[in-house]
Chains A and B, each alone.
Chain A
């Protein structure tokens, strides 16, 4: 399957979803367009364009580079980002940041000592910079920082 076909079908689904939601929100009349007017027509336009792309993809055949990620690194990073956000408010900024940096340095096969020291320094420096200097309100954990 070509990439245009895959992505075209995906956007077609998004378009149908948007148009249905738009209908549910009421299109209103042309005198007084309702809240669903824009989402509906936006969905219709996106849907038509997706169909153009899908039809074109059959004519062009399979071209393009590989889709599969070249390494699992990006998946680990995606997971780490989500974990950071979910744990941020319960563990506190400094602890989560330390664990996050430690994981990413280890991912790049840096030694444990190097990773731990850099992660610690990074967490401390960013705490000083954002919390103390720029006065960003970062969440504190059970340890008080």
Chain B
């Protein structure tokens, strides 16, 4: 019954007027970020993090979390009305969502996307409510070797889910680990890769790096794409409530999408994007009429939209129970918790129950707000989408500049952002992904500490990772994941 007491306490926290306000601001900005193409939740949260320094930790995290799952709602609107994904996790919604809009069924598509998101979001928070405290108790017994092995597994999973080549994803993880070592070594106090530069001595700031990789580089790439004449469908004013037929065909896709999304959300690197694609593939296979997919099948909207929202909920599991981020957004939330003086991980539920339960329960409230907010605001979003990119991009860049500068009121952080903007731009040109780099950069210092502590504990023997059953299991799983693609390839070669 501990969980019910916790949840009740969480509601008391989340329902305080100030926290309600922050939750509202979060989901509103999140929807906006989701609607606008070219600005993702990671960059937006990095941008707004400095503005929460004055707020209480609970309020700050509630707002930043709201931006994340709010973006999942907003992304579908742009996909359906304009055929451009407002947010990466809504790419697949373009296929059937926009096709439905062409047939004059934009209302049904928007409606089922919103309801599907709400149902999935709520279901995933319910599971989170029960699972997180339980897992936190299990992981309490983890020592440095278990943590190290778990982080190895996390990074491996991340590269396993890479859309491009796995070798390149592993390389990005290695680069990220190296980026994480920049600055003062916590154990010996020596400076590494700092070259006497003040900004580097403090280590690479997560916020400038993320704004460079996901904000600036995105703008640079968008500038090169020719501005296509966008055809924006007039937002429907009625017919947003799905009919009984719509519900009948969408109920199972929403449930399947929720389960799939939640599970994939927990895994590092998989996240909302993979979840939406996986759900689309599953629905197409499960359908009796797979040929309808791509021509306006409502299942193709309901499933993926449910999946990306459920994934957003699942992603909180590793953060709240282990203190390990599952994606770039969680990495910033981890940073935010630490800035507010909290240590994410198994102890969070004991040390800061108001934050732990407040965040979780605020997501019930946030999801309800989003459902109420989203449908009436669609005309407003549609008008916003008519603002040309040529007017919008200077302001996106300006916000990035101000954001990076205001982290520590120094130009050095801005230069770091600038540098990583160019790096991110080149990475995309050369078909690398930025996500493994960011995660490895955040996990890197934790991993290094765990590794060095483990070796000190075991007096220099790597056997410590094999003799402890949990860490051995994690490492075995990582080895399998790394070998699997090789095995599959050699089978394919022998077939030829």
A interface list, Cβ under 8 A from B: 3-4, 6-7, 11, 14-15, 18, 21, 25, 29-39, 42-43, 45-46, 49-50, 52-53, 56, 64, 67, 69-71, 73-74, 77-78, 81-82, 84-86, 88-89, 97, 100-101, 104-105, 108, 110, 118, 122, 126, 130, 134-138
State which of A81, A110, A137 has its C-beta within 8 Å of the C-beta of B401: A81
B455 touches A108 (CB 8 A): no
Q: List 28 A-B contacts (CB under 8 A).
A: A3-B429, A3-B431, A14-B175, A18-B193, A25-B190, A29-B460, A30-B461, A34-B188, A35-B187, A43-B178, A46-B175, A49-B174, A53-B168, A56-B167, A64-B431, A70-B224, A73-B223, A78-B422, A81-B216, A81-B401, A81-B418, A82-B415, A84-B401, A89-B411, A100-B394, A101-B398, A122-B395, A138-B402
Tell me, yes or no, whether B393 is within 8 Å of chain A by CB. yes
A35 touches B192 (CB 8 A): yes
Please give, as numbers and ranges, the residues of chain A lying within 8 Å of B397 by CB-CB distance.
77, 81, 100, 104
Given A38-B444, A130-B406, 11 extra CB contacts under 8 A: A30-B455, A31-B455, A31-B456, A33-B455, A39-B192, A78-B418, A100-B394, A104-B394, A110-B390, A136-B406, A137-B406
Please give, as numbers and ranges, the residues of chain B lying within 8 Å of A37 by CB-CB distance.
452
State which of B175, B226, B409 has its C-beta within 8 Å of the C-beta of A137: B409
Report the separation of the CA atoms of residues A127 and B394 in the bound assembly, to the nearest whole angstrom. 15
A5 smallest CB distance to B (angstroms): 10
A46 touches B216 (CB 8 A): no
Report the separation of the CA atoms of residues A46 and B179 in the bound assembly, to the nearest whole angstrom. 12
Please give, as numbers and ranges, the residues of chain B lying within 8 Å of A104 by CB-CB distance.
393-394, 397
Report the separation of the CA atoms of residues A89 and B415 in the bound assembly, to the nearest whole angstrom. 13
Tell me, yes or no, whether B219 is within 8 Å of chain A by CB. yes
Please give, as numbers and ranges, the residues of chain A lying within 8 Å of B103 by CB-CB distance.
none
A85 smallest CB distance to B (angstroms): 4
Tell me, yes or no, whether B432 is within 8 Å of chain A by CB. yes
Please give, as numbers and ranges, the residues of chain A lying within 8 Å of B391 by CB-CB distance.
105, 118
Report the separation of the CA atoms of residues A89 and B412 in the bound assembly, to the nearest whole angstrom. 12
Please give, as numbers and ranges, the residues of chain A lying within 8 Å of B223 by CB-CB distance.
71, 73-74, 77
Counting chain B residues whose Cβ lies within 8 A of the other chain, the interface size class is 35 or more
Tell me, yes or no, whether B129 is within 8 Å of chain A by CB. no
State which of A69, A84, A86, A122 has its C-beta within 8 Å of the C-beta of B224: A69
Tell me, yes or no, whether B181 is within 8 Å of chain A by CB. yes
A78 touches B175 (CB 8 A): no
Given the interface contacts A25-B192, A49-B170, A88-B405, does A18 sit within 8 Å of B220 by beta carbon? no
Report the separation of the CA atoms of residues A81 and B185 in the bound assembly, to the nearest whole angstrom. 31
Minimum-distance CB pairs A-B, first 5: A30-B460, A46-B174, A108-B390, A104-B394, A31-B460
B482 smallest CB distance to A (angstroms): 12
Report the separation of the CA atoms of residues A82 and B193 in the bound assembly, to the nearest whole angstrom. 22
Tell me, yes or no, whether B171 is within 8 Å of chain A by CB. yes
State which of A29, A53, A86, A88 has its C-beta within 8 Å of the C-beta of B167: A53
A105 touches B171 (CB 8 A): no
Main secondary structure of the interface of A (DSSP, over half): helix
Q: Mark B452-496, 1 if CB is under 8 A from A, else 0.
A: 100110011110000000000000000000000000000000000
Report the separation of the CA atoms of residues A101 and B221 in the bound assembly, to the nearest whole angstrom. 19
Please give, as numbers and ranges, the residues of chain A lying within 8 Å of B448 by CB-CB distance.
38
A18 smallest CB distance to B (angstroms): 5
A31 touches B402 (CB 8 A): no
Report the separation of the CA atoms of residues A84 and B411 in the bound assembly, to the nearest whole angstrom. 10
A42 touches B452 (CB 8 A): no
Report the separation of the CA atoms of residues A31 and B464 in the bound assembly, to the nearest whole angstrom. 12
Please give, as numbers and ranges, the residues of chain A lying within 8 Å of B425 by CB-CB distance.
74
Please give, as numbers and ranges, the residues of chain A lying within 8 Å of B358 by CB-CB distance.
none
Q: Mark B384-415, 1 if CB is under 8 A from A, else 0.
A: 00000011011101100110011001010011
A32 touches B456 (CB 8 A): yes
B61 smallest CB distance to A (angstroms): 18
B194 smallest CB distance to A (angstroms): 11
State which of B220, B402, B432 has its C-beta within 8 Å of the C-beta of A7: B432
Q: Mark B163-198, 1 if CB is under 8 A from A, else 0.
A: 001011011001101100100010110101100000
Given the interface contacts A50-B171, A71-B223, A81-B216, does A38 sit within 8 Å of B421 by beta carbon? no
Please give, as numbers and ranges, the residues of chain A lying within 8 Å of B394 by CB-CB distance.
100-101, 104-105, 122
Please give, as numbers and ranges, the residues of chain B lying within 8 Å of A70 by CB-CB distance.
224-226
Within 8 A of A (CB), among B425-464: 425, 429-432, 444, 448, 451-452, 455-456, 459-462
Report the separation of the CA atoms of residues A132 and B402 in the bound assembly, to the nearest whole angstrom. 14
